[in-house]
């Protein structure tokens, strides 16, 4: 059985783009693969966060993943910082990666916005920690959004380079990107990806939004002056985004084929609203149910962390041994 790993940052509420592009596919993967999924709270530290907010969002994100279909009895669900091997392997891989490789990462350029000197070091080395997240679990496949392909290529390069120098220690992973719903755009800015860090949530449908809020956001979605409905992301990004959402929400294989079903924008938006509300209804109901039992959720995450650490520790030990690090002496506890 292939092993799958992916993660999500606790930097905001899970939105429709996260769900359609990633989380829903994770829920499908968990029964067909040996699946590991984590809330990557260490990655969230690359920008300033309020301690209370980070703690709350980490917890809420974990609950959201369970509500969206991840079953802790089937997959391994954990919080990244609960498994200390992530940061330990990241340092080893930083000593394998080059400055040139990290400078080429487009996400650093986008997020630093030209302020390289004031950007946090963690933002620069973020892809190496991501590589450690993946390589620790011998992942064969990594489900990601298409903007993460470059990071997975770096991960592959680091694994191949390490294996070439020290022997076959790491599994070299492959990125998998859904063909439908892989890139859901902001309803107000359809040339920008729907994001948890958007300045306004008017164009971001949250998984936990009430039906009225979903309806309001979709009705106000930007289209264009022309009334023609066709799938043309370059010239009609707003309409194309709505068709993409409808296809992903209903399981239609081709968003372009849906265009002929609608005579006007109002009917298209109504269909998108209905599909999204029904898609997210069980997720929201399950989340509200889980939130009433915080102790139960804590136990699920602790169990996931123990299982993840058992795998991560074995991989880290292989890497340490391969590069010649002195093994720690394990002394037995003194007899009482």
Encoded tokens for 245: 């959402």
Q: Which residues are catalytic?
A: 111, 193, 196
- Cα end-to-end span (Å), the chain: 45
Per-residue confidence (pLDDT) for residue 332, from 0 to 100: 64
What local confidence, expressed as pLDDT, does residue 47 receive? 85
Residue 136 in contact with residue 319, Cβ under 8 Å?
Answer: no
Residues of the chain with pLDDT under 50: none
Report how far residue 227's alpha carbon sits from residue 238's, in angstroms, rounded to the nearest whole number.
12
DSSP helix/strand/coil, 33: coil
* Residue 76 to residue 5: CA distance in whole angstroms: 9
Using alpha carbons, select from 31, 40, 73 the residue that is nearest to residue 296.
73
For residue 222, count other CB atoms closer than 10 A to its CB. 17
Output the pLDDT for position 169.
98
Mean of pLDDT over the chain: 92
* Paired residues of 36 in beta bridges: 5, 76
Q: Give the pLDDT confidence score for residue 180 in this predicted structure.
A: 60
- All domains in the chain, ordered by first residue: 3-178+294-323 (3.40.50.620), 211-289 (1.10.240.10)
């Amino acid at each position: 059985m292939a092993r799958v790993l992916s993660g999500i940052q606790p930097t905001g509420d899970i939105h429709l783009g996260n769900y359609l592009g990633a989380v829903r596919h994770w829920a499908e993967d968990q029964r067909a693969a040996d699946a590991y999924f984590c809330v990557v709270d260490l990655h969230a530290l690359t920008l300033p966060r309020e301690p209370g907010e980070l703690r709350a969002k980490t917890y809420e994100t974990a609950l959201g993943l369970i509500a969206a279909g991840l079953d802790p009895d089937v997959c391994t669900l954990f919080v990244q910082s609960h498994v200390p091997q992530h940061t330990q392997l990241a340092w080893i891989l930083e000593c394998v990666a080059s400055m040139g490789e990290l400078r080429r990462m487009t996400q650093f350029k986008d997020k630093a916005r030209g302020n390289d000197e004031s950007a946090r070091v963690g933002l620069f080395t973020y892809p190496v920690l991501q590589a450690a997240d993946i390589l620790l679990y011998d992942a064969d496949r990594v489900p990601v959004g298409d903007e993460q392909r470059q990071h997975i290529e770096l991960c592959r390069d680091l694994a191949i380079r390490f294996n070439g120098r020290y022997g076959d220690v790491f599994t070299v992973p492959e990125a998998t990107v859904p063909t439908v719903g892989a890139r859901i755009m902001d309803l107000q800015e359809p040339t920008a990806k729907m994001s948890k860090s958007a300045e306004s949530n008017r164009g971001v449908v949250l998984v936990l939004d009430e039906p009225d809020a979903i309806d309001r956001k979709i009705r106000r979605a930007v289209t264009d002056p022309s009334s023609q409905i066709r799938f043309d992301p370059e010239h009609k990004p707003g309409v194309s985004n709505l068709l993409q959402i409808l296809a992903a929400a209903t399981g239609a294989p081709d968003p372009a084929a849906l265009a002929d079903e609608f005579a006007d924008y109002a009917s298209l938006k109504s269909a998108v609203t209905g599909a999204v509300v029904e898609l997210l209804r069980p997720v929201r109901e399950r989340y509200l149910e889980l939130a009433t039992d915080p102790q139960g959720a804590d136990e699920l995450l602790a169990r996931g962390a123990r299982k993840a650490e058992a795998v991560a520790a074995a991989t880290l030990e292989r890497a340490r041994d391969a590069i010649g690090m002195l093994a720690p002496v394990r002394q037995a506890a003194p007899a009482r």
